[in-house]
Amino acid sequence: MANAKKIALITGANKGLGFEMARQLGKQGVIVVLAARDRQKGEEAAAKLRDEGMDVHFLKLDVTDKNDRAAAAAFLEKQFGHLDILINNAGISAEPLGSGKPSTTTDETIHRTFETNFFAPVALTQALLPLLKKSDAGRIVNMSSILGSLTLHADPKSPIYDFKSLSYDASKAALNSFTIHLAHELKDTNIKVNSAHPGWVKTDMGTDAAPMEIPEGAKTGVQLALLTDDGPTGGYFHLGKTLPW
């Protein structure tokens, strides 16, 4: 299997960062399973990348749906027999970023955000771990955010100190904790687990006010997906630089 093409699954990949990571991995010869909730949009995205010469398969996957998660594992097992790269990219912000005060954030907002940003990637990773363990060099990339850094949120000198959204920030901090714990569990295996901060990117969530273009924002996730054997695990990175938890 060492000489075979790598297989990557990317969630929420019909647009934005997920789509661009699929493109960048596809250009490097990785077989990409492009996963998305919306079948039509996902099929169209996969077809676009195939037209660019890449080996891309579409998979209908709502990460919050346990049946979809089970179907994804079955599809990958039948189609490829293993999985090399899992990028947990699908995520939401249930309120405008920077607006979620602890005193007013609703239970519904917190639960909906955690369902997609934390509980779903944990459950999907657990479902796909047996396939990742069949890889010679499994890589799990959790697409986090600098807004998940407790250290920076607590520092009055930090650039994010006055930019807080309880539900989103807490969900990404929880995802970072999952990265640390899973990396520790898998430290004696060939699987590496890391969190990625893509940057403030011009996506639907980041808005046009963001300074980074999508191709630049996709680089961190792609770098972590293609780590060599001597690469890090259990870390939190942006463009090769370590971020504080």
Asked if residues 137 and 84 have their Cβ atoms less than 8 Å apart, the reply is yes
Calpha distance 234→192 (Å, rounded): 7
**Token code pair at residue 208:** 């046009």
Q: Return the pLDDT at 53.
A: 96
Q: How many residues are given for the chain?
A: 245
Per residue in 231-245, pLDDT (tens digit) is: 999 999 999 999 999
Per residue in 49-83, pLDDT (tens digit) is: 999 999 999 999 999 999 999 999 999 999 999 99
Q: What is the pLDDT of the chain when averaged over all its residues?
A: 94
Asked if residues 225 and 87 have their Cβ atoms less than 8 Å apart, the reply is yes
Asked if residues 242 and 197 have their Cβ atoms less than 8 Å apart, the reply is no
Q: Return the pLDDT at 216.
A: 86
Confidence of residue 96 (pLDDT cuts 50, 70, 90): confident
Domains (ranges, CATH) in the chain? 7-242 (3.40.50.720)
**Cα end-to-end distance, the chain, whole Å:** 35
Query: How much is the pTM?
Result: 0.95
Give me the residues paired with residue 82 across strands: none
Task: Give catalytic residues, as residue numbers.
Answer: 168, 172
Confidence of residue 2 (pLDDT cuts 50, 70, 90): very low
- 88-92, 198-202, 226-230, range with the lowest pLDDT: 198-202
Residue 1: pLDDT over 60: no
